[in-house]
Amino acid sequence: MSDAVRAKVKEFILSAFLPGEDPNELKDDTPLISGGILDSIATLKLVMFIEETFNVQVQAHEADKEHLDTITDIVALIASKK
Amino acid sequence: MDFSITDEQRMLRDSIVKFAQGELNDNVIERDRDHVFSHELWRKCAQIGIQGLPVAEEYGGIGADALTCAMALEALGYGCRDGGLVFSLCAHLLACVVPMWRHGNEAQKARYLRGLCDGSLVGAHAITEPGSGSDTFAMRTRAERSGAGWRIHGTKTFISNAPVADVAIVFAVTDPAKGFHGGITAFVVDRDMPGFTRGQKMEKLGLRTSQIGELVLEDVIVPEDAVLGSVGGGAAVFSTAMDWERVLLVAAHLGTMQRLLETSVTYARTRTQFGQQIGKFQAVAHKISDMKVQLEAGRLLVYQSAWRLEHARSAALDASIAKLFVSESLVKTALDTVQLHGGYGFMVEFEVERALRDAIGATIYSGTSEMQRSIIARWLGL
């Protein structure tokens, strides 16, 4: 289950925010917000993707570095809502 | 797709046009010249529900959905020639009332919303600072834990309604390490809180009956329940304000564009030069045709965006598109209206020069045109 979620999240981040980049460079612990990959609009797009794809609600205070900074964080956030 | 409007929407629109034309336009040239904000007109607008359009009736509003709000503000912009008053009402409604209604807890709604809706309170939204406008990461206002509440310190500038504001939504950094997402918190600050002053009043090119100025917070102590939304959740509050403001402020601009179009058509049909109506000259007719095209296209964008405010996860992209198109169309429409009025258009008593001065700010406030294009580009993945 979490592997499938992880794969979908990674695929989205690669296609939406890292076009043309080597997929192997994006690790589960690559910093997305603090590393500058996700700005405010990208973060909102990611939240919309999470909500629509996994049928969960992300609260306003969860759209931050603590919950969305790495693929591992994102998968954990989704898992916590299932 | 069904583009018809309901009988209720039509009645609301017509009643606001009649009210605005009858009640809001007296002495507007003098009020604009003297930079007068009218509390009397503010209260009149509250009596017909403008300040509480989308707010539930239990809090003193009339419970209109976002699309109906757009139609109502369009009617206000059409009927009211005092662009500054319309702007002040929109700043209050869209950037203070709506975030309070959407993010406030029950105690905050009970305490503030009725007064904000009934005209007894004027609201402001304070995020811009001397060193940070579009670059919100550069915000210097800080809020730190202090006893059971927070101590806020900083200065906000270019704040619409600030010189007359009774309550303000103030944004401050609460966690510098987290940045805009997670590190900014919105606070509700009353004018009477010690250390909170309304600062320097500024003069501007247009929208002169709307007051603008600084808000200064010198170690203002606010209680924990002054936090609007959640600690670190300021970005969500700000996004709500910007989405509603970008869509519905330009809804009012549509009304102004409609009025300028009608003014231009009337003038072009009655003013004669070289033995014929100037509207028969292609150079004039094409300008007016373009006004009509921009108005109709803008209206579709605004109505669609307003619908998305209620029905979609985010209306941010649509809001930027609508704001960009309508604000630039408003400036062009106002400039063309002055141009085709010739020398009369340059004179104060014809009131189109004021419409142009009022329009100039539209591509600057609520995110410049350059920012809107950058936002749209980011949504496209660029």
> B188: alpha, beta or left, given left = phi > 0 and alpha = psi -120 to 50?
beta
pLDDT-derived band of residue A10, with 50, 70 and 90 as boundaries? very high
Catalytic residue (choose from B245, B262, B310, B353): B245
The pLDDT, as a whole number, for residue B130 is: 85
Tokens describing residue B285:
């007719």
Q: How far is B38 from chain A (nearest CA, A)?
A: 37
Of B182, B232, B314, the CB nearest to A44: B314
Disruptive mutation site among B135, B181, B239 for chain A (greatest number of A CBs within 10 Å): B181
- Does A1 have pLDDT greater than 60? no
Determine contact: A6 vs chain B, CB below 8 A.
Answer: no
The pLDDT, as a whole number, for residue B178 is: 81
**B189 by DSSP, 3-state: which?**
strand
Number of CB atoms found within 10 A of residue A12's CB: 16
Q: Which of residues 330-359 of B touch A (CB under 8 A)?
A: none
The answer to whether the beta carbons of residues B301 and B321 sit under 8 Å apart is yes
Of B182, B233, B381, the CB nearest to A65: B182
Determine contact: B376 vs chain A, CB below 8 A.
Answer: no
CB contact under 8 A, B379 and A41: yes
The answer to whether the beta carbons of residues B108 and B225 sit under 8 Å apart is yes
The answer to whether the beta carbons of residues B196 and B155 sit under 8 Å apart is no
ipTM above 0.95, yes or no: no
The pLDDT, as a whole number, for residue B159 is: 96
The pLDDT, as a whole number, for residue B200 is: 75
Cα–Cα dist B377/B373, whole Å:
6
Of B182, B236, B378, the CB nearest to A41: B378
Residue B245 known to be catalytic? yes
Q: How far is A48 from chain B (nearest CA, A)?
A: 7
What are the chain A neighbours of B230 within 8 Å (beta carbons)?
Answer: 59-61
CB contact under 8 A, B236 and A63: yes
**What angle, 0 to 180 degrees and rounded to 10, lies between the N-to-C axes of helices B316-340 and B369-379?**
150
Burial classification of residue B21, based on how many CB atoms lie within 10 Å of its CB (0-12 exposed, 13-18 middle, 19 or more buried):
middle
Mean pLDDT, rounded, for A29-35: 92
The pLDDT, as a whole number, for residue B181 is: 76
Q: What is the pLDDT along chain B (382 residues), one digit of tens a residue?
A: 778 899 999 999 999 999 999 999 999 999 999 999 999 999 999 999 999 999 999 999 999 999 999 999 999 999 999 999 999 999 999 999 999 999 999 999 999 999 999 999 999 999 999 877 667 667 999 999 999 999 999 999 999 999 999 999 999 999 988 877 788 999 999 999 999 998 778 999 999 999 999 999 999 999 999 999 999 999 899 999 999 999 999 999 999 999 999 999 999 999 999 999 999 999 999 999 999 999 999 999 999 999 999 998 889 999 999 999 999 999 999 999 999 999 999 999 999 999 999 999 999 999 999 999 999 999 998 8
Q: Which of residues 220-239 of B touch A (CB under 8 A)?
A: 229-233, 235-237, 239
The pLDDT, as a whole number, for residue B303 is: 97
Q: What does DSSP say about strands B149-160 and B184-190: parallel, antiparallel, or unpaired?
A: unpaired
Cα–Cα dist B5/B72, whole Å:
12
Of A17, A59, A65, the CB nearest to B178: A65
The pLDDT, as a whole number, for residue B2 is: 76
CB contact under 8 A, A64 and B178: yes
Determine contact: A28 vs chain B, CB below 8 A.
Answer: no
CB contact under 8 A, A65 and B229: no
Nearest C-alpha in B relative to A18: B381
CB contact under 8 A, A60 and B235: yes
Tokens describing residue B153:
């310190």
The pLDDT, as a whole number, for residue B134 is: 66
Closest CA to B45 of B20, B70, B26, B75: B20
